[in-house]
Amino acid sequence: MATADFDNETTFVIACEDGNAEEVRELMKAGVDPSARGSVAICNAVEGKHLHVLYILLDDKRCDPTAMDNYALYAALRGDFVDGVVLLLNDDRVRRALVDQKMTGIVAPLAVAYRKFMDSGNVLDALKGHPGRVV
């Protein structure tokens, strides 16, 4: 990887963490791949509760919101980032992953909650009732 690419990726990850939507857009237009570095950028945006950046990232099909065992959704739930949870659950990639998810690891409660969410419409309440709850 060229130094300029690495520098742009670093700047991109920091922009996502800081919620700098304009810089995120500019760097993506300049060719930065939002899935670089294992999709750390989306996780940073979620952990910072930067909904506007999350919208930008999810709009790019290169971004993988299910990376690192659905960590972005896990972080949104754990951080009570309800708008982020809703946005992620409305993404087809996340929904497919939860439907297809094996019931293991930290995502097991997410998969269960998603199935309950489909019935009740309230994922946070569904998670609170799960024995392996994360919220």
Name the amino acid, one letter, at 38.
G
- Specify if 75 maps to a domain: no
- Does residue 73 lie within any of the structural domains? no
Whether 95 is in a domain gets the answer yes
Of 49, 56, 57, 65, nearest to 17 (Cα)? 49
**41 and 94 in a common domain:** no
Query: Which residue is associated with the tokens 């269960």?
Result: 112
Single pTM value for the model: 0.75
Task: Encode the chain (135 residues) as per-residue pLDDT tens digits.
Answer: 455 566 888 999 999 999 999 999 999 999 999 987 778 999 999 999 999 999 999 999 999 999 887 889 889 988 888 889 889 988 989 888 876 665 455 555 566 666 655 555 555 555 555 444 444
Segments forming the whole domain that contains residue 22: 1-64
Distance CA 133, CA 1 (A): 40
Domain membership flag for residue 69: no
Q: Is residue 72 part of a domain?
A: no
Q: Each residue of 12-43: pLDDT tens digit? A: 999 999 999 999 999 999 999 998 777 899 99
